[in-house]
Amino acid sequence: MKRRDFLKAAGTGALVASSATTVSARENLPVPEDAVGMLYDATLCIGCRACVVKCKEINGAPPETVEGEEHWDMAQELSADTLTIIQAFNADTGPDIPNLADGTFSFSKRQCMHCVDPGCVTVCPVSAMQKHPTTGIVSHDPDVCIGCRYCVLACPYNVPKYEYDETFGQIQKCQLCNQPGVERIDNGQITGCTEVCPTGANIFGPRKELLAEAKRRAELKEGDTYTYPLQSIDSTYRYETQVKADYQQHIFGEKEGGGTQVLVVAGTPITNLGLPELPERSYAANSETVQHTIYGGMLAPAGLLAGLLYLARRNTKGDDKDE
């Protein structure tokens, strides 16, 4: 390559490299048109854990024991055997045994939030985590997963769990009861945990409708009467009762980290309920923006390589080392 040709080549390389650095930031993903999800209302939850039991039954997961002989499930946290959990929180001390004297405790249900713009999907190197294009359900495929646990690192809610105690462990997480072999949603059923909830604290439905319902509840004051649906938003089973506490205006999942398909409303500040405070811009969008700014179309690396090859060639041929 002649020097002039190189200058041309390098110039083009620099040009594509700099145009690659002006790619626009990746925005949050939009909510899928037919996104389904769940709405958890902490004011209605009585902590019966029927949902936890049903979830274990559906997922074939054993109860957790502490001494090895309890006759009931001792699960305290989400784990590879506990894909959903009901936790009790004191308003100001975090996870604790409910302190009825204070009167300021609340239950909280945790499971995969089925993020609108999920970190686990963005980071998975082998696309084992996938977000369904229409329902938005975030699924996991153990047959391709390499077990790197980057999804664990990148999930703002610490949801995916790896089975460390198994020789051939796998990642476990709630797949909204639509995993192969279960497929409740595809078959027109609702999730197990909403089906068994006796108070309607946890209901299934299209995210759009659940969000509208959450907004209606946010307007309610303690002592108002309201008709709550059981199981799902469009259910014929409904009951009228008095509202137990003033609802917070904050609907968790409307905007958090780009939004989630599992929404939470409560009578106490929701960030006291084991859920993090998150910016509206998703971490996935941050990560992809940086990654694509550097690697968009591989133009910048190609431009850099062209320059490197030229210099390396010049400096390894002819022994004209300058020092």
Partner 1 sequence: MSSHHEHQVLNRKIFTLPFIFLAALVLIAFYILAERMIFGLGAVTNLNDGYPWGIWIVYDVVIGTGFATGGWVLAMVVYIANKGKYHPLVRPALLASLFGYSLGAFSAFIDMGRYWNVYNMVLPGQININSVMLEVGLCVTAYTMILVLEFAPAVLERFKIPRLSQLLDKWLFVIIGIGVLLPTMHQSSIGSLLISAGHKVDPLWQSLSLQPFFALITAIAMGFSIVIFEASMVTVGFKRPSETHLLKGLGRLIIYLLGVYLLVRFGDLVLRGELGRAFAGDLRGNMFLLETLLFVIPLVILLSPGRRSSGAQLLIAAVSLLLAGALYRANAFMIGWHPGGGYIYFPSAKEVLLSLGFVAIEIAGYLAIVKFLPVLPKADHA
Minimum CB distance to partner 1, residue 281 (Å): 10
Residue from 12, 237, 276, 280 that binds partner 1 (CB under 8 A)? 276
Which residues, other chains included, contact 114 with Cβ-Cβ below 8 Å and sequence gap of 6+? 37, 136, 137, 138, 176, 260, 261, 262
226 binds ligand SF4 (CB under 6 A): no
Stretch that binds ligand SF4, among 14-22, 41-49, 137-145, 267-275 (CB under 6 A): 137-145
Q: Is 290 in the site for partner 1 (CB under 8 A)?
A: yes
Write phi, then psi, for 215 (nearest 5 degrees).
-65, -35
For ligand SF4, which residue of 16, 31, 61, 83 counts as binding (CB under 6 A)? Answer: 83
Among residues 193 and 243, whose Cβ is nearest to ligand SF4? Answer: 193
Amino acid identity at 13: G
- State whether residue 232 is helix, strand or coil: strand
| Per-residue b or e along 140-172, where b marks 16 or more CB atoms closer than 10 Å to that residue's CB | bbeeebeeeebbbebbbbebbbbeeeeeeeebb
- 122 vs 232, which CB is nearer to partner 1? 122
Contacts of 320 (CB under 8 A, 6+ apart): none
Q: Check residue 223 for interaction with ligand SF4 (CB under 6 A).
A: no
CB 207 within 8 A of CB 198: no
Which of residues 215 and 250 has its CB atom nearest to partner 1 in the complex? 250
**Helix, strand counts (H, E) of the chain:** 8, 12
The footprint of partner 1 on residues 80-119 (CB under 8 A) is 80, 95, 119
Task: Please give the residue ranges that form the binding site for ligand SF4 (CB under 6 A).
Answer: 54-55, 58-59, 83-84, 111-115, 118-120, 123-126, 128-129, 138, 140, 145-151, 155, 157, 159-160, 171, 173-174, 176-177, 191-193
